[in-house]
Structure 1
């Protein structure tokens, strides 16, 4: 159980979307399984950084699902939001890493069976932020369920965080869905890669201006890997350089960035935009120091912040 579950309270942050198993090719005839999924990664990061968090999603009742459940418990996620179902696991076959190349297996997998009616009573009233993104929004019927949740929360005044986290499942009709979610959001996190795929005909500056026009009151976090983060809020835009670390890999860095930002926002509401973005950049850098989608601890992030002070 997560800390807030043991205490009986409900989490202030709920992240909705997929968890999956990456089958990573390690040789001509060898593969390694790694628990992952962008939305689950975001939830795990926020929880490990101290923000009471629930991950709303479904996993399979097998060794792959059991690993996700175990890692969720270890991170301190509220397990009342996690559903275990009798379906096959969602699997991503990652057959190359540089650049990443992958495809997904499964047309009737566990993630699609997520049932919002099984969420704990009163969770919406306790929710101070909800996060959505990645392939969960384009895998039906799951995507329609999550969009309905996002719209209902927005109508109730609950802030929405959105990270498109573009993947090759997103077709030519995706920009319309992206814009629908972006218009609901209080926080939009976008990478340079996301922008290239969603708005291929626009220059980055034009695309950013267009997104800001969709949600003028939202905070936009634009990430560019080693070039750092540009954060825009109202009339203010600021630049946060990337922290210099020994990079093992960059898997999950974007998830750690938005997970770190949300954790900082919820735990330090009085802090400035610059302080939140600096914390997010440190979380992203800490994730890069370990293999796979590492969810850094608060101590790891603080060490980077102290070292660069």
Structure 2
């Protein structure tokens, strides 16, 4: 019997993080913001697929193996004979990146090759990060987001601002995705880059005006996070954990937030942000972009028991 198609589909980039180990020594690790988000869903027991294209070399092999280990549905992962997309991580505290990927594999993702019926099976479809700043991929993903929204699917969007998004063309992509989104995760750093002339409050107001039907999760690292859903505003303190690094914590928060909703669509805003914060904290306890399991997050919550509060 064929396995049912996933309820959570994450579109975007998977890449290799080349992490500086000092001097000219680099460590290659599977990564990519959207791929990290997908791994969280799968590791927390939600039937999840990462929909993107990767290379056919050893770096692509490592991404495929890591996807399989996480429990992602490999029917959505495409392998193409192009060079890999690379992110050179020159610093980790805070993370600093630059990307290398002219004509690389990610740009050759073909939505038409996805399994028949995938859209009907999906409940939540995620888009974001670098993939929406790289043409022709960005145009294909914007079209897919529009079709998924028209089919009644819940659209999740995490801009995850990176340098390529300073291109003026990205403003149209951002407006398109925000207008479709039901869920937007944005960091305080994202807001400063997206709305450089506005303070945080004004930037949040501008984003909410652009995304009238979206719940917005604003993350502030060690200063916690805020979930704005309709008239509800729920503040969540950061959990007190020993931080190894913060690489991938935003991705973990996004994946944890969607996991909470996919597991329980009736989850209250406080319950949603509670789980998102604990997922991010569990990721921070490990080096690199770690995807915490349900058990790890639940254990952390039992120990810390942080409570969100409304205002």
Q: How many residues align?
A: 304
Describe how 1:135-146 pairs up with structure 2 within 5 A: 135-146=130-141
Aligned equivalents of 2:177 and 2:102: distance in 1?
24
Give the corresponding residue for 1:56.
Answer: 51
Shift of 1:269: 1.5
Question: How far does the alpha carbon of each residue in 1:236-273 deviate from its partner, in whole angstroms, 9 at most, with x for none?
Answer: 11101111111000000000001001111001122211
Q: Pick one of 180, 186, 189 that aligns with 1:193.
A: 189
Asked if 1:76 corresponds to 2:71, the answer is yes
**Structure 2 residue runs without a partner (length 5+):** 306-311
**Higher mean C-alpha displacement, 276-285 vs 164-173:** 164-173
2:229 is the alignment partner of 1:233? yes
Q: CA separation in 2, counterparts of 1:42 and 1:169?
A: 20
2:276 alignment counterpart? 280
Which residue does 1:301 correspond to in 2?
297
Instruction: Output the CA distance in 2 between the equivalents of 1:162 and 1:106.
Output: 23
Unaligned runs of 5+ in 1: 1-5
Does structure 2 conserve the Cα–Cα contact (< 8 Å) formed by 1:216 and 1:234?
no
Asked if 1 retains the 8 angstrom alpha-carbon contact of 2:93 and 2:246, the reply is no
Q: Give the match for residue 161 of structure 1.
A: 156
Give the Cα–Cα distance (whole angstroms) in 2 for the partners of residues 203 and 270 of structure 1: 33
State the distance in 2 between where 1:183 and 1:195 align.
17
Q: In structure 2, the residue corresponding to 1:57 is in which secondary structure?
A: strand
Residue 7 (structure 1) shift: 5.0
SS at match of 1:136: helix
In the other structure, the counterpart of 2:309 is none
Q: Please provide the CA RMSD for this pair.
A: 1.1
- Give yes or no for contact 1:90–1:104 (8 Å, CA) kept in 2: yes
Match of 1:14 among 9, 14, 39: 9
Q: Distance in 1 between matches of 2:70 and 2:98?
A: 28
* Aligned match of 1:44: 39
- Asked if 1:123 is matched to 2:122, the reply is no
SS at match of 1:143: helix
Match of 1:220 among 201, 216, 225: 216
Quote the offset at 1:155 in angstroms. 1.4
Which string of whole-angstrom CA distances, capped at 9 and with x for unpartnered residues, describes residues 51-110 of structure 1? 110100011111111111011101110100001111110011222333433221121111
Q: What per-residue deviation string (whole Å, max 9, x for no partner) do you get for residues 142-161 of structure 1?
A: 11100000011111211100
Q: CA deviation at 1:8?
A: 1.7
What SS does structure 2 have at the residue aligned with 1:266? helix
With structure 1 as the length reference, what TM-score do the two structures score?
Answer: 0.96
Q: Which residue of 2 aligns with 1:67?
A: 62
